[in-house]
Amino acid sequence: MPELAVERSGSRGGGFQPAFLKAVSIAFTIFVVGYILIPIVVTLIMSFNDANMIRFPINTWSLKWYRDFLGSAQFTGALLNSLIVAIGTTIIATTSGVLAAWAFERYPIPFKNGLYLIIMLPLFMPGVVLGLGVAIAFGGINIFGFQLYGSRLLLMIAHSLWAMPLVFMLMEATFRTIDHRIVEASYDLGGKPLQTFFEIVVPSVSTGIISSALFAFVISLNEFVMALFLTDRDTQTLPVLMWLSLRSAGTPRLAVSAVILACAVFACLTVIMVWYIRQLRKTAR
């Protein structure tokens, strides 16, 4: 009888623990989701405010500040700068990151651990350090009369210092999933290295490449600190202009700018999810 009592007591305790952990997990998940969504929702609501200052609650709803944003050459120009820089960063970071990851995975490289550390180092460096370092190192360079400092090109290169290590890290893990016997079979059948890479390898890791490219795009689009150091009035990005505008006047135009940046991020995440689901369906067939 005492043994039976102990057994029942243990079973009750065992049932209590999973229920408790489940409740804590659900509560924590709700907290995290709310913590993420509340600022986004509040910003979205504030973008429809008719007042001249950011204030809550809203008395009058209006699209006034959306029209104001689209009618402002300064803000639309900054948005265009952000998009151009983000696209350039995506091209540079994705190309270099994919090729570096393939080289690390495929070929023996001297001092591989040291090179790996150097490639990943910028990802853990503060933006202010990278921005200031790039400004000092390249600030006085002139290429055939083209001033590198303050140009979109320099900002693309600087943003790639953050984006490329991320692409490299994601693609290195992706390349490890490839069956290298397929690559060897392509070589045995007369396939050239470039032909094999683009016709065999790239289609096999297309989901990883698309995801890495979109992550690089989002990183560049939203980056602020390095852009603050490296842009001038003609090349400043939208996050930089938002910061400068916030210091002078906090109008709902800033909320509109934030909504536009958030929409770009959601669009990239949607593309990643759609592409991933599409590839899963292809694999299932």
- Highest-pLDDT range among 10-14, 62-66, 224-228, 275-279: 224-228
Query: Is 178 a domain residue?
Result: yes
Query: Is 59 a domain residue?
Result: no
Mean pLDDT of all residues in 217-224 = 92
Query: Is 160 a domain residue?
Result: yes
Query: Is 39 a domain residue?
Result: no
Q: Say what the pTM is.
A: 0.83
Query: Is 132 a domain residue?
Result: yes
pLDDT single digits (tens) 229-259: 898 888 899 999 988 887 777 778 888 888 8
Query: Is 255 a domain residue?
Result: yes
Assess whether pLDDT exceeds 50 at residue 6: no
SS (H, E, C) the chain: CHHHHHHHHHHHHHHHHHHHHHHHHHHHHHHHHHHHHHHHHHHHHHCCECCCCCCCCCCCECCHHHHHHHHCHHHHHHHHHHHHHHHHHHHHHHHHHHHHHHHHHHCCCCCHHHHHHHHHHHHHCCHHHHHHHHHHHHCCCEECCEECCECHHHHHHHHHHHHHHHHHHHHHHHHCCCCHHHHHHHHHCCCCHHHHHHHHHHHHCHHHHHHHHHHHHHHHHHCCHHHHHHECCCCCCHHHHHHHHHHHCCCCHHHHHHHHHHHHHHHHHHHHHHHHHHHHHHHHC
Query: Is 202 a domain residue?
Result: yes
Query: Is 127 a domain residue?
Result: yes
What's the total number of domains in the chain?
Answer: 1
Q: Which domain holds residue 179?
A: 73-284
What CATH number did the domain enclosing 108 receive? Answer: 1.10.3720.10
